[in-house]
Structure 1
């Protein structure tokens, strides 16, 4: 064999080899999402961290406007033009995509073992057999308070229902602050920051929620009526004109230092950090009595799945396994304080308020909002009806018992318990 032939063969084999390598590795993945406010975090932190470890895979984050996402995504999926990775809303919207065979089954994906059943519940089929999105983050409910106001009035953080109302009473008697900033005009605020925030301590979180799904408990049972009774007592502490107060009004009352306590979702943390000029703290929903197990609403907010028709499925699975890792969890949760990793590996938060919220997972049992899984598929929609009833109870236009009966009657009209 001549040297020229040898060189030609070597060159040919090296070209073929590199072409084979390119095919195996080079892929560009596109992520569909409604979180257009997250663009910088993906471009500056998450994607560079992934690409550094996976040089053959490029990732493009291509969000739509939140209000247009569902319609735009469905149109792209139907047309076969959607990205490889689909950011998943919790529960029925994503389940529908899976049932239409738009999302792949990820049950066996490496990394899925890093999530509990509660963490996966928003992206698992009703029978529990298939999981179709990797859980990314949840939001936690509780109360954010003005530390300066508490110090000024000599108040301690309440741990029980009785202590909670004693604190509200002292703030009211002092007269310098509205005890609690929450309005009922937007309806959802009363349910989300009120009923779903404190309720899990009464219905025992997942125990009660699953009993409701199985038909073993009803919304007229004591554990479901009692949180309404507690909410009815909030009326005296919400300040004048709370019935006409919108959600942005409540946020402003608190961040301007006019209210001492804010019933909260952890998604408020970033905004409050930039707007409030006082020190803030947080406490979990007070338990009924000292020594009771505490429960928190640790509600699944966002996941990510695989387009079943992706041409880059292997590369996409490599990416999803990374999303399931503690490394992703740490970067994401710290970049977005208040959106907490659902990974079983605890993530240390650099933001003190976010760290306070997430620390409750160590001592309280997590659950999700009671209305979100299965119970809001029919008409009347239990989630929307709970908004109305929570506002009515606080406004005093419905009794706790009447509100619970209306909710159960509505549910009975279409819901058959899950066997």
Structure 2
């Protein structure tokens, strides 16, 4: 009798333990991400802020190294072991997941109403009918300048291209390196320079959409003009610019040896750590009175795994990601990454505030080739790195750079074959 009671008791205890374990698992929302650098921020700031409003929901931030994220996430999604929330890269990587049924459709879900149409483009089908990730943050491109150097040399922050080149001349005459930029790594020449300064020539979204529609070509004057300007930068770069890496450029500017640094807003945190006194200005317009355009590039979003074990709680977390509270926390804690929501955000970092304030006077666009144009062979992203670097190095004429990109684009993209 005692033995039977004991066995029943053990069974009850085991069942209770299993139920408790399953409840613990069921109550934990797991976030997949490549942002390993943000682990402390999520664990110490963002998740506790969410839990204060939603007690009882456990959230785990489980990042994978950026270089391994895409392949390992795909394997986990396919194997049914992926987390409930999926941090989304912009455009084709996430679109592929959606087409494979690995991201939920989010139109009409709580929180999505707080984002403008332009913010959602990076996570929508080509026809704009389905949205599959909530926009989280963008990065903004422009220029940083050394405030002390500008003051000593009595240089005014340039607003037009003529003023920009006047400043470059002033820096050069003073024996300074005018522009801290190298071409050894190549990516900066496209992602930070060409698609940033060029937006003022091709009128941002107007020009980008015209290329996709087949109504404009890279050989048109408004696109060649961006490479024309870059070709004039040669005399203002370091003597060894072709061997200069991204890290070398950062170091040159951080040490106070260069006046201007073509920048992505993610660089703010690095220069803050170096104790540099610097400011920011948007890409100068062609002539006074022109409407300014900025590259305000959609960088990171969040989606829901259709096979997630805790979808109800995942949607509660997603709704919070669309809130004013999250927008404030993320923008101010991840300096240089800006919420894409419509909320008014009080940005504390002075340079980050300068950059986000450009949205008030300038139109926002994204990196020129980010949507649709990277899908064929030759790979446009790599081609743009290459030709833009060669133009900066004085090894390729602007019109030849344009012709190379246009030829490659027309090889596989039907609207460009007219």
Length-normalised TM-score, structure 2: 0.93
2:368 to 357, 367, 370: 370
Match of 2:165 in 1: 165
In structure 1, the residue corresponding to 2:155 is in which secondary structure? coil
- Write out aligned runs for 1:29-68 (5 A): 29-68=29-68
Partner deviation per Cα, 1:11-69 (whole Å, 9 max, x = no partner): xxxxxxxx9xx98x972100000001001110111101101111131111011111111
Q: Are 2:316 and 1:318 aligned?
A: yes
Deviation at 1:311, TM superposition (A): 2.0
Is 1:306 equivalent to 2:317 in the alignment?
A: no
Q: Give the superposition deviation at 1:382.
A: 1.1
Judge conservation of contact 1:26–1:56 (CA < 8 Å) in 2: no
Shift of 1:344: 1.1
What is the CA–CA distance in structure 2 between the aligned matches of 1:326 and 1:417, rounded to whole Å? 41
Q: 1:189 offset after TM fit, Å? A: 1.2
Q: 1:292 aligns with which of 290, 300, 304?
A: 290
Selected match of 2:329 from 331, 335, 348: 331
1:347 has 2:338 as partner: no
CA deviation profile, 1:108-164 (whole Å, cap 9, x unmatched):
112211111211111101110011011110000000010000001001100000000
SS of residue in 2 equivalent to 1:413? helix
- Structure 2: how far apart are the matches of 1:383 and 1:26? 42
- Partners of 1:148 and 1:278 within 8 A in 2: no
Tell me, in whole angstroms, the C-alpha distance in 2 between the residues paired with 1:278 and 1:388: 31
1:204-219 paired onto structure 2 within 5 Å: 204-219=203-218
Cα displacement string for residues 333-367 of structure 1 (whole angstroms, at most 9, x for unaligned residues): 10011000000113111100110110100100000
Distance in 1 of aligned mates of 2:287 and 2:221: 16
Following TM superposition, by how much is the alpha carbon of 1:100 offset from its aligned partner in structure 2, in angstroms?
Answer: 0.5
Aligned length: 396
CA distance in 1, matches of 2:125, 2:276: 45
Q: In the alignment, what sits opposite 2:107?
A: 107
Contact 2:380 2:408 in 1 (8 A): yes
User: Which residue number corresponds to residue 382 of structure 1?
Assistant: 380
SS of 1:145's equivalent in the other structure is strand
Which stretch has the larger CA shift, 107-116 or 82-91? 107-116
8 Å contact from structure 2 (residues 227, 398) kept in 1? yes
Mapped to 2, the partners of 1:191 and 1:370 lie a distance apart of 9
Give, in whole Å, the separation in 2 of the partners of 1:230 and 1:216: 24
Matched, 1:283 2:274: no
Work out whether residues 26 and 309 of structure 2, in 8 Å CA contact, stay in contact via their aligned partners in 1: no
- Equivalent position of 1:412 in the other structure: 410
Query: Are the equivalent residues in 1 in contact too, given 2:26–2:310 (CA < 8 A)?
Result: no
Instruction: Name 1:202's counterpart in structure 2.
Output: 201
- Structure 1 unaligned regions, length at least 5: 1-18
Is the 1:171–1:179 contact (alpha carbons within 8 Å) kept by the matching residues of 2? yes
Shift of 1:278: 3.3
Residue 256 of structure 2: aligned partner: 257
CA 272–47 in structure 1, closer or farther in 2 if over 3 Å, else same: same
Say if 2:202 is the partner of 1:233. no
Matched with 1:154 is 154
Aligned-partner SS, 1:236? helix
C-alpha distance in 1 between matches for 2:77 and 2:192: 35
d(CA) in 2 for partners of 1:160 and 1:222?
A: 19
* Runs of 4+ that moved beyond 4 A: none
Partners in 2 of 1:65 and 1:347 — Cα distance? 30
Report the Cα offset of residue 224 of structure 1: 0.6
**Given that residues 191 and 390 in structure 1 are in contact (C-alpha distance below 8 angstroms), is that contact kept between their aligned partners in structure 2?**
yes
RMSD over aligned CA atoms reads 1.6
How far, CA to CA, are the matches of 2:198 and 2:102 in structure 1?
35
Quote how far apart the aligned CAs of 1:246 are.
0.8
**1:68-111 CA distances to partner (integer Å, 9 max, x unpaired)?**
11111011011000000000011111111101100000011122
Unaligned runs of 5+ in 2: 1-18
The 8 Å contact of residues 293 and 365 in structure 2, kept in 1 or not, is answered as yes
Q: Give the whole-Å Cα distance in 2 for the aligned partners of 1:35 and 1:149.
A: 35
In 2, Cα distance between equivalents of 1:368 and 1:194:
13
SS in 1 for 2:209: helix
The TM-score with structure 1 as length reference comes to: 0.92
Q: Secondary structure at the match of 1:417?
A: helix
State the distance in 2 between where 1:348 and 1:221 align.
41
1:197 deviates by 1.5
SS at match of 2:232: helix
Residue 13 of structure 2 is matched in structure 1 by none
Aligned to 1:242: 241
